[in-house]
Structure 1
C-alpha cells in the first residue's frame, strides 16, 4: 500500500475519529460482538498511531487493519462458540454508530441477528469478504488488500458467501413503519399479558428462543408455535411486571425489539423480533449477562427469577423453572 510521510499525531487522531464508526461497523459484522469489535477498533488505532508512514488512503488502510484483526479474533472465537452452552446469539446492538441515510434500511438488515447468524455459517475469510464487498461496497482491489488474498480468490470467496447468504437470507417487511407499529402492538399485549392479543400477532410457526450461555435462567431450548409462545409469555409477564420489571421498545440490531429492565432499572435481557408478512416469526432473547454489559449495569437474572417465583397471583399457577430445569 502506497505511503507518504507520517503526519502529525493530531491529524491522525482526527482522521481516525472520522472513520471510527465505519471501522466498528465492519468489525461488528465480522465478529458479532460489540466488545470484541470495540477492542479491534482500539487495536487498529494503536497500530495506526505507531506506524512510521502515512498511507495514501487512510480509509483503505484502516479498513484493512481492522478486518485482519477481526479475522484473527473470529478464528479463536469460533472455538469458544462451539463449546457455548445453549444457543449462541450475537451481542445485541441497540445503537449503530455508522450512519448512511441513503442505505439505512440495507445496513440495518445486514446487522440483524438473523443476518449475523447466517454469517456464522461462513468461514472467517468468506465472512470478511462478504462484509467488505456486499455490505460496504469495497472494490475487489481493496478487499484483496484487506484479507491478503488475490483478487481472483476474493471473487470466488464472494460468490460462495453470497450463495450461502442468499439461500437463507432473512426477508423483512419493506415498510419499516409497519414493522414498528406491529412491534408496538406486540409489546402492549406483552405488558398486559394479553394472550389473545399476542396470538393475533404471532406466526403459526413462531419460535421463541433464548441465549443464556449457562449464566442465566432460560426456558430450555425455547418454545414453538403461536399457542405455546403466547402461553409462555402470558405466564412470565405478570410476574415480571409485579416485581417492577419494565419493557422499553427499542431498535435491536436494526430490527424491532425491546430492553427489559429489572425493578432497579438494571438491564435484564434484550428481545429482538423478526417480522414477515405481518406476523412475528422469531423472538430472540439475550439474557447472558456477559453480552449485556456494554448496555449498562446488568441485573442478577437468578435473583429476578427467584423474586418472580415468590409471586403467586393464583394458587393454581406454577413457579418459573428453577436453575437447571
Structure 2
C-alpha cells in the first residue's frame, strides 16, 4: 500500500482526534492536511504508520490549541464548538460508540482541560492508545501521562454529560420538541423542557444573537414560541439532523443557505440545554452561510407590521 492509500485509510481517525482536541472543523482539517505534508515529505517509513500519523496530528493540534485559547479569551459572547453533522467513521457501530465523546457538552468540558490533559484524555479514553504511544506523542513520561489522565478524568467526571441511553428515545423526544417549537406551542414546550433548561447562542458578534444565556423553563419556552414560528413565515426551513452525535436541526434561509444549527442535550425525558450556532464562520464548512442580519431585519419588520 502506498503513502496516499495509507493516509486516506487513517484520515477519519486523524480528523476525529484533531477535532476533539480543537473543537473546530477548519482547524482540524488544517492539522490533518499538515500531517499529510509531513508524512509525504518524510524519507523513512515509520514502524507504525498509525502511531506516526496520530502523534503528528496530535502535536499539531496541541500547538494550534495553545494559540486558539488566547483568541477565545476575546471572543464575543459564548463560544461553542463548530458543529459536526457527519461523523467521518464509515462504521456506524464505531460512530455510535464515539457519539457522546463528540457532543457539544463533552467538547465544552474538554475546554476546561490543559492542552496536554485534553490530548492524553482523547488519545487514551476515546481512542484507546497505549501509554507508551501517548508518552512519545506528548513528550512526557508514561507516569506523567497517567497523572495527566487522572486529572483530566476528574474534571470530565465532575461535569460529565449524561444522555438518554436510547438514541431512538432521544430522537423521538427531539421530534416532539421541534414540532412544538414550530407551532409556537408554549405549553407543549414547557412540558418538554427541564426546569433549569438553558438556551445558549454563539454568534461571535457576526450574527444577531441573545445578549446572554436564557435560563428557566417558562422564559425559554416563551422566547422560542415567539421567534421560530415567525421564521417559517419568512421561508426559513427546518431539517432534523444529528449534531455532534446528538439530536438537533439545521435551519436554512429561503435560498437554501445555512442560517443556524441547533443542538439539544436530552436527559430524563427533558431537553436540558439548547445550543444555537449562528456565527457564519462556524457554518461555512457545511455550505454557504446565510445573511443572518438580513433575516433579522425582515423578522423585525414583519413583527412591527403584525402589531
TM-score, scaled relative to structure 1 = 0.92
1:36 match = 27
Contact 2:182–2:225 under 8 Å retained in 1: no
Runs ≥4 residues deviating over 2 A? 98-106, 312-316
Partner of 1:216: 207
SS at match of 1:274: strand
Matches within 5 A, 1:193-232: 193-232=184-223
* Residues 1:186 and 2:180 aligned together: no
CA distance in 2 between partners of 1:279 and 1:91 (Å): 24
Q: 2:298 aligns with which of 287, 301, 307?
A: 307
- Aligned residue for 2:99, secondary structure, equals helix
- Residue in structure 2 matched with residue 247 of structure 1 by the alignment: 238
Q: Deviations over 1:65-85 (max 9, x none)?
A: 000000000000000001101
Equivalent runs, 1:22-171 vs 2, <5 Å: 22-171=13-162
Task: Provide the alpha-carbon RMSD of the alignment.
Answer: 1.2
Equivalent-residue separation in structure 2 for 1:222 and 1:159 (angstroms): 32
Of 161-170 and 220-229, deviating more is: 220-229
Q: Which moved more, 1:193-202 or 1:246-255?
A: 193-202
Deviations 1:289-325 (A, max 9, x none): 1100001010011000001111138744xxxxxxxxx
What displacement does 1:200 show? 1.3
Q: Secondary structure at the match of 1:137?
A: coil
Q: Aligned partners of 1:302, 1:222: CA distance in 2, in Å?
A: 20
Hey, what's the Cα distance between the residues in 1 that align with 2:217 and 2:305?
Answer: 24
**Alignment partners' CA distance in 2, 1:206 and 1:292:** 25
CA distance in 2, matches of 1:109, 1:171: 9
Gaps of 5+ in 2: none
Q: How far did 1:106 drift?
A: 3.3
**Alignment partner, residue 319 of structure 1:** none
Offset of residue 100 of structure 1: 4.5
Structure 1 CA distance for aligned equivalents of residues 21 and 176 of structure 2: 33
Higher alpha-carbon deviation: 132-141 or 235-244: 235-244
User: 5+ residue gaps in structure 1?
Assistant: 1-9, 317-325
Q: Aligned-pair distance for 1:191? A: 1.6
Q: Aligned pairs, how many?
A: 307
What TM-score, normalized to structure 2? Answer: 0.97
Deviation per CA, 1:92-127: give whole Å up to 9, x if none: 001110244444433100000000000000000000
> 1: CA distance between counterparts of 2:88 and 2:205?
30
